[in-house]
Amino acid sequence: MTAEIIDGKVIAADLRARVADEVARVKREHNLVPGLAVVLVGNDPASEVYVRSKHTQTQAAGMASFEHKLPTDVSQQDLLTLVAKLNRDPAVHGILVQLPLPKGLNTEAVINAIDPAKDVDGLHPNNAGRLAGGFEALSPCTPLGCIILTKSVHASLEGMNAIVIGRSNLVGRPLVQLLLNENATVTIAHSRSRDLPGLVRKADLVYAAVGRPEMVRGDWLKPGATVIDVGINRIPKEDGKTRLVGDVAYQEALAVAGAITPVPGGVGQMTVACLLVNTLRAACAIAGLPKPAV
């Protein structure tokens, strides 16, 4: 048996096309142009690549894209002043401050300063709390993408046993809440969990969000399980270059799983597509329009 490969590229492209259709509709019917502002502090090369990709994809979806680049040594006060300005700007419906911030800046204070209605990263405590309470909320993009990928295989997750490995605010914790909303039965594992292979073996749905290359082995999996690999790890190759691998031993898992996301080409593709979804949803909510059809 070889697992079905869940093609994040195709699923993300379909999602982006549906967002673009809805953006065109709200523009036509309500003269509303959703706008996303991305704030990049410093010149971390990986962050610059992400920000460029967000800018291109936002524009391709027909939305307005505003980029703000600040120097590494920007003061906390100047960063907060920019966030306050974006909070007031009626052309901006989504604000994303690219993380990690350079040392010396207080990330928590910056996240808390973002208007929760424009918090398209879903990290503000208002949104995290609303999600945990089962209320309507802007949810973090990567976990949203994980749910969409899972639902490309299973129409309903009701009653399925899911395990989420990793409990970060960005991925693991919100993913658990989204799975609960889908009526899955969820285990959350972390670095102190005992007998991780035994816990994983019970799961129909396995989410690995750890940051340890190929940690989840093929013989940990229940045959037929659906595996969503969030990990992005750069490991050295013999020729001095690097290659990307996930948190799951992909070749081993292929022989046991029912379906699996590749790295690259899986979850990573979904994150920016879901950012576009959140920006469209935020714009409609701020304008008092019904939730868009995506």
C-beta of 200: minimal distance to ligand NDP in Å?
10
**Which window, 70-78, 87-95, 230-238, 285-293, contacts ligand NDP (CB under 6 A)?**
230-238
Contacts from 167-172 at CB under 8 Å and sequence distance 24+? 168/209, 169/123, 169/128, 169/140, 170/99, 170/123, 170/140, 170/142, 171/140, 171/142, 171/143, 171/209, 171/230, 172/207, 172/209
**Binding-site positions for NADP(+):** 166-168, 232
The number of residues in the chain equals 294
- Residues in region 148-207 near ligand NDP by CB under 6 A: 165-168, 170-172, 189-193, 196
C-beta of 85: minimal distance to ligand NDP in Å?
27
222 binds ligand NDP, rule: CB under 6 A: no
Q: Which of 116, 231, 262, 292 binds ligand NDP (CB under 6 A)?
A: 231
Number of H helices, E strands in the chain: 10, 11
**Which ranges of 152-266 would DSSP assign to H, the alpha helix?**
172-181, 196-201, 250-254
**Which window, 52-60, 83-91, 109-117, 224-232, contacts ligand NDP (CB under 6 A)?**
224-232
Instruction: Please state the φ and ψ torsions of residue 119, each to the nearest 5 degrees.
Output: -85, 75
CA atoms within 13 A on the CB side of 126: 11
Between residues 6 and 32, which has the closer beta carbon with respect to ligand NDP?
Answer: 6
C-beta of 31: minimal distance to ligand NDP in Å?
33
Tell me which H or E stretch contains 259.
strand 259-260
C-beta of 197: minimal distance to ligand NDP in Å?
11
Between residues 195 and 239, which has the closer beta carbon with respect to ligand NDP?
Answer: 195
140 binds ligand NDP, rule: CB under 6 A: no
In whole angstroms, give the CA distance from residue 144 to residue 124: 16
Residues that bind ligand NDP (CB under 6 A): 142, 165-168, 170-172, 189-193, 196, 209-212, 230-233, 267-268, 271
